[in-house]
Amino acid sequence: MTGTLTVAGLGPGNETLITPEVTVAIAEATDIVGYIPYVARIPAREGLTLHPTDNRVELERATHALEMAASGRKVVVVSSGDPGVFAMASAVFEAMDRAPHLAHVETRILPGITAMLAAAARTGAPLGHDFCAINLSDNLKPWSVVEKRIRLAAQADFAMAFYNPRSVSRPHQFGQALDILRQECGRERLIIFARAVTTPQEKIKVTTLADARAEMADMRTVVLVGNSLTRCIGPYVYTPRRAE
């Protein structure tokens, strides 16, 4: 029996945003691997083993998934959002890189709706022109790299999406990021705090950099910052398709 490894995106939370491709992969799986709250979204059934694991063990989780697939299981690693955007797809290939005897495992990545695009859709079209996505966590990169990327992105006049803006273990850095943004973009630039988008806990706040406070973000928030032309129209925020 030939096993397979599928890395599947569950989208931002609402079940109506899971693609049929992912639904089929989950229905055919023998094993589901992932971070506890994402595995909790998969209904139990006979023949399916759930393997929930804690946060910050991505490489071990990926290696375990590859080993099970190598032994003949049909393994699905679940990510929230899109597995290719600050999620499990890279971790799986890193694990393969470190364990060449697992590199033969047939692996496929199934995309999903990533948080920034779900948040953008809920507020209008704030990422409607050139934009970038930056992970504000410094677990795997120096904070100086984050600061440099924010400055260059602002100088390029990209709209921006920030993932993992703030957590209990690093409460101060997001305030520094906001300071850099105020220096580079001015105080009137629009900023959106989108928490738990498409779930019952969804909370969206549109404000300006002048009024933005670090405490408006937590680990379930994605933060969007407009470019120099981003504007409000009624309840919507949008970035025009042109640039000057």
- Residue 207's Cβ-side half-sphere holds a number of Cα atoms within 13 Å equal to 15
| Least Cβ distance, residue 84 to its own copies (angstroms) | 5
Three-state SS sequence of 77-105? EEECECCCCCCHHHHHHHHHHHCHHHCCC
Tell whether residue 140 is a contact of its own copies (CB under 8 A). yes
Tell whether residue 18 is a contact of its own copies (CB under 8 A). yes
Stretch that binds its own copies, among 34-42, 66-74, 178-186, 234-242 (CB under 8 A): 234-242
Question: Of the candidates 42, 48, 50, 132, which one interacts with its own copies according to CB under 8 A?
Answer: 132
Tell whether residue 223 is a contact of its own copies (CB under 8 A). no
What DSSP line would sit under 165-193, residue for residue? --BTTB-SHHHHHHHHHHHHH-TT-EEEE
Smaller CB separation from its own copies, 14 or 176: 14
Question: Of the candidates 39, 48, 50, 125, which one interacts with its own copies according to CB under 8 A?
Answer: 125
Looking only at residues 154 through 183 of this chain, which bind its own copies when binding is defined by CB under 8 A?
155-158
Question: Of the candidates 1, 2, 16, 44, which one interacts with its own copies according to CB under 8 A?
Answer: 16
Are 133 and 161 spatial neighbours (Cβ–Cβ below 8 Å)? Answer: yes
Looking only at residues 90 through 109 of this chain, which bind its own copies when binding is defined by CB under 8 A?
90-94, 96-97, 103-104, 107-109
Q: Which residue has the tokens 């909370």?
A: 203
Beta-bridge partner residues of 106: 4
Question: Of the candidates 56, 148, 187, 213, which one interacts with its own copies according to CB under 8 A?
Answer: 148
Question: Of the candidates 5, 65, 73, 86, which one interacts with its own copies according to CB under 8 A?
Answer: 86
Looking only at residues 197 through 216 of this chain, which bind its own copies when binding is defined by CB under 8 A?
none
Q: Crossing angle for the helix pair 58-70 and 88-98, nearest 10 degrees?
A: 70
Tally of CB atoms within 10 A around 202: 17
Distance CA 52, CA 242 (A): 45
Tell whether residue 29 is a contact of its own copies (CB under 8 A). no
Q: Crossing angle for the helix pair 143-155 and 173-185, nearest 10 degrees?
A: 20
Q: Strand 231-233 to strand 236-238: parallel, antiparallel, or no bridges (unpaired)?
A: antiparallel
Question: Of the candidates 5, 10, 17, 66, which one interacts with its own copies according to CB under 8 A?
Answer: 17
**Binding-site residue total for its own copies (CB under 8 A)?**
74
Tell whether residue 236 is a contact of its own copies (CB under 8 A). yes
Distance CA 87, CA 7 (A): 10
Tell whether residue 224 is a contact of its own copies (CB under 8 A). no
Looking only at residues 44 through 63 of this chain, which bind its own copies when binding is defined by CB under 8 A?
58
Q: Which residue has the tokens 């580079």?
A: 184
| Least Cβ distance, residue 38 to its own copies (angstroms) | 17
Tell whether residue 114 is a contact of its own copies (CB under 8 A). yes
